[in-house]
Structure 1
């Protein structure tokens, strides 16, 4: 009887099934790894990482960090990571801002704005991202004027078929102090924002924390900058011969990739924002209107904070998708991680297993970090029952 009761115990059975599943998974992984290593040894191939110190011997057109042709494969991996993260961060910022605007436009009472926003979402999100990247690259940025006929935007940016050119900052002695003042100003702005929220909860009196924070972040570093005699120079791009020299430039492939990723992802973010706002009861808006709260403050302080509880979970997926979709840059020749590492480095070194493993590990780590950060924020804003 005791043995039968032990066998029929639900907890015991659950532990047994989990142990069997775990053992099966470990056995399968061990078989695949050992079989792969044996097959590679038979063919004289190596699965080690000793090639990382070997000179890559090829050039990379666009690098965010210093790189030379004689640098190692490990440096190539770092360059690919830096380029991929640059595209992902800029794309996330632009996609979030554009998605918020389009999502609010989808709820506009103006028929024209609402219709344009709806067609924007429906057309672009139902077009393959790869086609959009190719269209922006070959149909827009490659058709820009030649360098001698560049399009000047505001006197600080020039566009042509070889990319976008900006003035590059050149820090001078004392600029570290300005950066320190900026860090202190940001910390003070955050402290003011926290204090203003606590004050609003306790007394019901609002404080212009946004304006004060902006004044701190913009004013304090500026005063320090002027007091130190403007310790920052600028290297302006100038047309020399058939192209610009000096300054900072980005290739057309980068511009096309960022624009396509931002616009495509913004369509999904817009629908997430729209759904989140519509999940908040209309009575919240009516109550705010009855109390005389301005529509802008109603949206900012009443509707959006509640909608964020619905927006954040699916927003995580869109940020992860944008980061992983940046690998489509290989179609237009932008040197992201997949292009310089999974393509060029793999073909030259022949080390498929370690290169694929390192690439998968990078995307996995980035995805976990983004998920952890946004999930932590989501837990902080969740309603807690008492």
Structure 2
């Protein structure tokens, strides 16, 4: 009894000094979780994106050799609260599902009905789909986090976007309602910031303002949904270079409960987590790779070539750009488009049409007026069907075709000058 009393007296009563934090103090803690601090925002540290290894939850998981492209599925999430047991179980189930990204479309095979809330299990039970769960928010931040966290500080400031703490792929657990800390027009600001950043890779040498708001490439640069698959592919390529937690743990086959084998799937230790990129230099390299990958996921190169080949005046703004200058040079024939070539043909007859009879005759007549008598005879003979140089030489009384060739060279030069002005 004495021992118990002594023990009780020596145990510190922590609860006596504990005070409930005020709402203001809680808000300060929330903002510290949302916004990057000074120590986190230097150019060598920001922007940053990282991955948390599934090894914290699983000793082994499925590794898919031919993964399907991930699809982001937004979910209405319960209010973030660690006091609500049901809310916490839902958040943990989402985190576990997303963490085994290596299982790709076969990740549902890792979970049973007892492992997922009914709402998630109904989605998983629809088949082998490579789904990534993200919270449904007004801003769509979690969907576009891979793009947002590639932008440098200067770009964020230019477009009125906040510096957030490091992003995580795939999404794990929320601790705050992110919409409370982002601009109401976050998605539009992000689209403009992303377009300004990626544009130099799409149309180097020509500024974004040199094109109209309806220009196809400008619209493509602003389309975040177009770029997201490429960013996700690049992220997974980076993660696949990470070593596994236990490199000796590997089974070449994955067997289901009915003893059947999943083709192209192995059982291995999860890969280690870590930074996907950290700092502006890393982010710049990853961004370039995202643009390159967009050619695979979205046929970017084919789109660029198709748009450039079918440019119209309305695609450009009033500002100068190399692309506009090149377009106008072609449109207004600042470069000579006429190349005059006389070809010696055999067994041919002149082909005439309504346009050549009227318009063609007028232009042809104006050109002939510029030539001397001998040169006019050469052109007339060519247009009348005499196309062999030796025959023309005989008609004009020359010993050989050398003189005719010299005259043709002079006529060709005059024709290029004349018809270049006529066009």
Q: Same fold (TM over 0.5)?
A: no
TM-score scaled by length of structure 1? 0.24
Looking at CA atoms only, which structure, 1 or 2, has the larger radius of gyration? 2
More helix by proportion, 1 or 2? 1
Query: What TM-score, normalized to structure 2?
Result: 0.22
